[in-house]
Amino acid sequence: MTSMYEKRVFSSRLLSCLIAISMFFLILSCSLLFRVGDNSLVPRSIYNLIVVDRGSIEPESDSGSNPVKAAGSCDPNQAVLKVFMYDLPPEFHFGLLGWTGSANQLWPNVGNFSEIPSYPGGLNLQHSVEYWLTLDLLSSLIPNVRRSCTAVLVHNSTQADVVFVPFFSSLSYNRHSKIEGTEGKSTNDILQERLVEYLNGQDEWKRFGGKDHVIMAHHPNSMLIARWRLGSAMFVLADFGRYSDEIANIDKDVIAPYRHVVRTVDANNSPSFEERPTLVYFQGAIYRKDGGVIRQELYYLLKDEKDVHFTFGSAGGGGIRKASTGMAASKFCLNIAGDTPSSNRLFDAIVSHCVPVIISDEIELPYEDLLDYSKFSIFVPASDACKNGYLINLLRGVKREKWTEMWENLKQIAPHFEYQYPTRPGDAVDMIWKMVSRKIDPLHYRAHRKNRYNMSQQFLNSR
Ligand SMILES: *[C@@H]1O[C@H](CO)[C@@H](O)[C@H](O)[C@H]1NC(C)=O
Ligand SMILES: *[C@@H]1O[C@H](CO)[C@@H](O)[C@H](O)[C@H]1NC(C)=O
Ligand SMILES: *[C@@H]1O[C@H](CO)[C@@H](O)[C@H](O)[C@H]1NC(C)=O
């Protein structure tokens, strides 16, 4: 016979057991919620904190010119990547933006947002990855800048995983390629020659023959001179279109997204299937050399369809505004090979939540080992796309439900393509550092493998 007392004890035990179990799940769900680095686990509400749209290029500032007050700077031992950065003179980086510090000041004070020079707008912005990565490193040691702690600057190169070369090579190409004065050389050429000479003289470069160096060359024409002599380094690139396989390849280099030029569509107010009247959108130069012939063929195939927008037009000035509106009102956005396999159009489509249709057989995609692009894009081989009726039938065949699934995925992954300052978990800068760290591991692997027999050799020699 069970007494009243025993029953009460039993039920109170059951109760505390239940409480313990629910506490466990509460803590578990909280911890999942805050693993913001891993975006598949992040619910929409947290996402919105990550997404920022500023059509401007100024570093973001939450409260006037004052940086966000927050936790202390990163502990290098907690960071994914420890980075040593060369103290190159300003003419290689912020000096190209017209910045001049006080005497002997190499870097702007990134703790005060109003002291950070802004990057030129328009199409320059596409290749601005050099600016965002450098700012992020500089801010890693400043206690009052709240950022994700993926990469952190270290002052001793022997403790670093990689050596970062802060040369704004795309800006140098875009702004300083003209030959001026009597030298017969452009500033862009002179800077590259000086960079090669500088690096070859550094102990850090000699240590691994430059293999652990990160060099940014996002504009396809940047580093035209230096790339041949610095090819052992890890490049941050838009694609491999204008490189030979030995100089650049996916084993050692990192593909970074273009900085989109259209406005980011707010994930909470993104037009749905019915709210996007245009079936297919493309705006760009139609006559292109190399792989671009296909643009012309597609133009003739699609131009008479009533819900297709396919026009000539440059992205300058009003073009960008029109593209923002046009892409956000379209279900599919074409990304067709131009004179290089990649273009900013793909990233414009992603932030417009317009399902990308990728017709570019040689394209390389950023962070493809972390993201499955087929979940939010449609790939069409160039040879098929040019068949009469193929593309239009394919896209008309994508029904509301399937399209909406891809659109939901686009809204989820779009924050991975935002460049901003300060960096946030899962944004473009954060993702690029993660990619760099993944390239470093095989480097270590090969170096360790080479050491296998060194010890026994040493013992033999010491006999
Ligand atoms: C930030 O920089 C601006 C412009 O140089 C200056 O006026 C302001 O006093 C600075 N703020 C702080 C907190 O140092
Ligand atoms: C850098 O670190 C190495 C190894 O940790 C140490 O031997 C060396 O003295 C350090 N150099 C400086 C300048 O602190
Ligand atoms: C070990 O030996 C290999 C091959 O001789 C050499 O390349 C490597 O640098 C050596 N490693 C060390 C740590 O001395």
DSSP 302: H
- In the reported structure, the alpha carbon of residue 456 is separated from the centroid of ligand 2 by a whole-number distance in angstroms of 28
Torsion over CA: 230, 233, 235, 240 (sign): positive
**Of all atoms in ligand 1, which is nearest to the CA of residue 65?**
1
> Which residues, 6+ apart, have CB-to-CB distance to 126 below 8 Å?
218, 258, 259, 261, 344
Give, for all 463 residues of the chain, the pLDDT tens digit: 444 454 454 556 656 656 666 666 555 554 444 443 333 333 333 333 333 333 334 444 333 333 333 345 677 888 999 999 999 999 999 999 999 989 889 999 999 999 999 999 888 999 999 999 999 999 998 887 888 889 999 999 999 999 999 999 999 999 999 987 777 899 999 999 999 999 999 999 999 999 999 999 999 999 999 999 999 999 999 999 899 999 999 999 999 999 999 999 999 999 999 999 999 999 887 665 655 678 888 989 998 999 999 987 665 557 888 899 999 999 999 998 877 788 889 999 999 999 999 998 889 999 998 999 999 999 999 999 999 999 999 999 999 999 999 999 999 999 999 999 999 999 999 999 999 999 987 777 777 888 888 888 888 888 7
How far, in Å, CA of 325 to CA of 223, rounded? 35
- In the reported structure, the alpha carbon of residue 451 is separated from the centroid of ligand 3 by a whole-number distance in angstroms of 5
DSSP3 helix / strand / coil % (the chain, rounded to 5): 45, 10, 45
Residue bearing the CA closest to ligand 3, atom 12 = 451
pLDDT score, position 338:
77
Residue bearing the CA closest to ligand 2, atom 11 = 156
Q: Ligand 1: which of 58, 115, 144, 145 to mutate, judged by most atoms within 8 Å of the beta carbon?
A: 115
456 within ligand 3 shell (Cβ under 6 A): no
- In the reported structure, the alpha carbon of residue 67 is separated from the centroid of ligand 1 by a whole-number distance in angstroms of 11
| Residue ranges lining ligand 1, Cβ < 6 Å | 65, 112, 114-115
Exposure of 437 by Cβ count < 10 A (0-12 exposed, 13-18 middle, 19+ buried)? middle
- In the reported structure, the alpha carbon of residue 345 is separated from the centroid of ligand 1 by a whole-number distance in angstroms of 37
The full set of domain ranges for the chain reads 70-255, 267-417
- Using an 8 Å Cβ cutoff, are 116 and 59 in contact? yes
Question: Candidates 3.40.50.2000, 3.90.1150.10, 3.30.70.3040, 3.30.2130.10; correct CATH number of 267-417?
Answer: 3.40.50.2000
Residue bearing the CA closest to ligand 2, atom 9 = 156
Model's pTM, two decimal places? Answer: 0.81
Tokens of 86: 């060369």
How far, in Å, CA of 426 to CA of 446, rounded? 29
Tokens of 251: 């084993």
450 within ligand 3 shell (Cβ under 6 A): yes
Residue bearing the CA closest to ligand 1, atom 10 = 112
- In the reported structure, the alpha carbon of residue 52 is separated from the centroid of ligand 1 by a whole-number distance in angstroms of 24
Going from the C-alpha of 14 to that of each of 1, 5, 10, 11, 24, the distances in angstroms are 20, 14, 6, 5, 15
| Residue ranges lining ligand 2, Cβ < 6 Å | 156, 158-159
Torsion over CA: 60, 89, 184, 228 (sign): negative
pLDDT score, position 3:
47
**Angle at the Cα of 326 (from 340 to 386), degrees rounded to 5?**
45
